[in-house]
């Protein structure tokens, strides 16, 4: 199955439920985006490691912290499938990630085979650092001062202990190499990408002040924790180009920490100019899987009302089904919403998830085909509609489904090889008959109304 599918098709099958077909993160960005993600850039072995072993704990992507679980896919995907998926993701949606060498997945699988737990973001960054991204700060220097203060002092009247150039364009109190009783002044330029109003958010432990073009934009004077309760927001209109920038900061006691971000007013995405603080995300968003761009969506976890190897498909137009790879038959069909994947996609919750829609119809829960029948996988057409394949001795039965007109599902059964075969259909009230007899080389199309 996998060798016949493109990287885009495999991505749609295995990845789009969380990362969305357009790579921007499902549920309006409730899940990490892949489009434009810096995690795609640099050493491609980082991407392979994540797919093979999964990812646990907080991760910062494009100015937002996500604290969800990505399950390992190494056992489910072959080397060829991983290669196809990653080479698609690394170049789709404007991404400029490196092409994955043909043998690198095999090499990485051998290298990480002894690992039994998912990766964390710090582990991955230590092994495969993300290339430094250019920030809006340029020509940045830092001056470090020793002393104990309860208010921001006039650092211009104090002798600096050390002066350094900061080439990463980030505000980081760790440059002081001291645990307490110090101050830092960063100076340089803020490069405004256009003439507009800009919004800045500043938080720190203890005091800090942002000055742009000699105007104080945000100030946290005095001592206190960096827990969001003291954060300040400021707005200022700037002309395009380099704007004189200054950040004053002092640390009295407690963690040495500062967070600083900006955006053009009226936009959603924040740009960080500090190491982003790791914040927990205890709320678990639902993942209502919805067909997008006219393509069918897939759910491959435990589904209530079918066997453990049930595979769900949500078609455009609110038509849905579950095929059992154990019983070699479509067992459930229903209308309305497809599936809420949150139980199994967040923290790997246990139990079976019921269909989210209405009028769930049980076609069968019994294996009707002969004992020698074997499930041989399924393939998808360009719209994501499935065709299931079953071998019965020397014969092959294909079972194709797609949405029809006026709220109905169309099912096409085709038999090759051997002699005529009687195919049970299950619920005769829905299928229109208890069974259908197929001749080799012939097809029959059935209509399943869900109105």
Distance CA 339, CA 227 (A): 37
Asked whether residue 3 carries a pLDDT value surpassing 50, the answer given is no
Tell me: do 247 and 342 sit in the same domain: no
Residue with tokens 């009687």: 422
* Residue 276 confidence class, pLDDT cut points 50, 70, 90: low
Beta strands in 282-394 (DSSP E): 288-289, 297-299, 310-315, 319-324, 329-335, 339-340, 358-362, 373-380, 386-392
Tell me: do 72 and 145 sit in the same domain: no
Q: How high is the pLDDT of residue 280?
A: 38
* Residue 177 confidence class, pLDDT cut points 50, 70, 90: confident
* Residue 285 confidence class, pLDDT cut points 50, 70, 90: low
Tell me: do 13 and 76 sit in the same domain: yes
By the 8 A CB rule, do 218 and 164 touch? no
Distance CA 387, CA 381 (A): 8
What is the pairing mode between strands 137-146 and 64-66?
unpaired
Tell me: do 196 and 93 sit in the same domain: no
Q: What is the mean pLDDT of residues 30-55?
A: 91
By the 8 A CB rule, do 298 and 317 touch? no
Tell me: do 376 and 439 sit in the same domain: yes
Residue-number span of the structural domain to which 336 is assigned: 288-449
Q: How high is the pLDDT of residue 60?
A: 83
Residue after which a domain boundary falls, among 272, 301, 332:
272
Q: Two tokens at 319? A: 């038509």
Distance CA 41, CA 46 (A): 9
Q: Classify residue 339: in a domain, yes or no.
A: yes
Q: What is the mean pLDDT of residues 176-190?
A: 91
Q: Two tokens at 72? A: 């390992």
Residue 120, classed as helix, strand or coil, is coil
CATH number assigned to the domain comprising residue 191? 2.60.120.1560
Higher pLDDT, 260 or 343: 260
Q: How high is the pLDDT of residue 357?
A: 81
Q: Classify residue 281: in a domain, yes or no.
A: no
Asked whether residue 140 carries a pLDDT value surpassing 90, the answer given is yes
Tell me: do 79 and 149 sit in the same domain: no
Q: How high is the pLDDT of residue 413?
A: 95
For residue 146, what is the enclosing H or E element? Answer: strand 137-146
Tell me: do 266 and 198 sit in the same domain: yes
Tell me: do 265 and 116 sit in the same domain: no
**What is the pTM (predicted TM-score) of this model?**
0.45
Asked whether residue 351 carries a pLDDT value surpassing 50, the answer given is yes
Q: Classify residue 142: in a domain, yes or no.
A: yes
Asked whether residue 371 carries a pLDDT value surpassing 70, the answer given is yes
Residue after which a domain boundary falls, among 214, 246, 272:
272
Tell me: do 90 and 145 sit in the same domain: no
Q: Classify residue 278: in a domain, yes or no.
A: no
Tell me: do 171 and 123 sit in the same domain: no
Q: Classify residue 173: in a domain, yes or no.
A: yes
By the 8 A CB rule, do 1 and 9 touch? no
For residue 55, the cross-strand partners are 70, 119
Residue 410: exposure state from Cβ atoms within 10 A (0-12, 13-18, ≥19): middle
CATH number assigned to the domain comprising residue 10? 1.10.760.10
Q: Classify residue 279: in a domain, yes or no.
A: no
User: What's the mean pLDDT when you consider all of the chain?
Assistant: 88
Q: Two tokens at 133? A: 């991204």
Q: How high is the pLDDT of residue 262?
A: 94
pLDDT in tens, 416-432: 998 999 998 888 777 77
CA quadruple 304, 306, 308, 312: dihedral sign? negative
Higher pLDDT, 236 or 226: 236
pLDDT in tens, 68-99: 888 899 998 999 999 999 999 999 998 888 88
Tell me: do 304 and 417 sit in the same domain: yes
Q: Classify residue 277: in a domain, yes or no.
A: no
Q: How high is the pLDDT of residue 278?
A: 44
Domain count, the chain: 3
Helices and strands per DSSP (H, E), number in the chain? 9, 26
Q: Classify residue 16: in a domain, yes or no.
A: yes
Tell me: do 426 and 307 sit in the same domain: yes
């Amino acid at each position: 199955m996998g060798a016949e599918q493109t990287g885009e098709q495999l991505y749609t099958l295995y990845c789009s439920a969380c990362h969305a077909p357009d790579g921007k993160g499902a549920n309006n960005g409730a899940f990490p985006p892949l489009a434009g993600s810096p995690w795609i850039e640099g050493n491609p072995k980082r991407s392979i490691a994540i797919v093979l072993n999964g990812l646990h704990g907080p991760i910062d992507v494009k100015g937002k912290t996500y604290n969800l679980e990505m399950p390992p896919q190494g056992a489910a995907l072959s080397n060829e499938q991983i290669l196809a998926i990653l080479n698609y993701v690394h170049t789709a949606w404007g991404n400029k990630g490196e092409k994955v060498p043909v043998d690198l997945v095999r090499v990485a699988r051998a290298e990480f085979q002894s690992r039994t737990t998912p990766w964390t973001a710090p582990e991955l960054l230590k092994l495969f650092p993300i290339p430094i991204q250019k920030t809006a700060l340029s020509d940045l220097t830092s001056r470090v001062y020793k002393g104990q203060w309860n208010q921001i002092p006039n650092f211009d009247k104090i002798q600096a202990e050390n002066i350094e150039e900061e080439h990463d364009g980030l505000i980081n109190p760790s440059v002081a190499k001291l645990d307490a009783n110090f101050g830092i002044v960063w100076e340089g330029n803020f490069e405004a990408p256009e003439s507009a109003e800009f919004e800045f958010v500043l938080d720190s432990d203890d005091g800090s002040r942002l000055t742009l073009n000699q105007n104080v934009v945000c100030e946290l004077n005095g001592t206190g924790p960096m827990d969001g309760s003291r954060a300040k927001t400021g707005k200022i209109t700037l002309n395009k180009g380099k704007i004189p920038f200054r950040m004053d900061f002092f640390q009295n006691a407690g963690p040495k920490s500062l967070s600083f971000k900006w955006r053009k007013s009226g936009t959603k995405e924040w740009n960080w100019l500090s190491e982003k603080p790791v914040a927990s995300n205890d709320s678990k968003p639902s993942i209502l899987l919805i067909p997008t761009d006219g393509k069918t969506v897939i759910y491959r976890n435990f589904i209530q009302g079918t066997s453990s190897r049930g595979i769900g498909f949500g078609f455009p137009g609110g038509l849905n089904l579950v095929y059992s790879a154990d019983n070699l038959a479509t067992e459930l069909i229903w209308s309305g919403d497809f599936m809420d994947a949150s139980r199994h996609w967040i923290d790997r919750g246990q139990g079976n998830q019921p269909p989210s829609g209405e009028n769930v119809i049980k076609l069968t829960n019994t294996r009707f085909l002969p004992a020698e029948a074997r499930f041989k996988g399924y393939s998808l057409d360009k719209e994501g509609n499935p065709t299931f394949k079953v071998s019965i001795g020397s014969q092959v039965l294909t079972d194709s489904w797609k949405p029809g007109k006026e709220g109905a599902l169309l099912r096409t059964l085709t038999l090759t090889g051997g002699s005529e075969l009687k195919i049970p259909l299950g619920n005769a009230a829905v299928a229109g008959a208890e069974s259908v007899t197929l001749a080799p080389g012939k097809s029959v199309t059935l209509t399943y109304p869900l109105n």
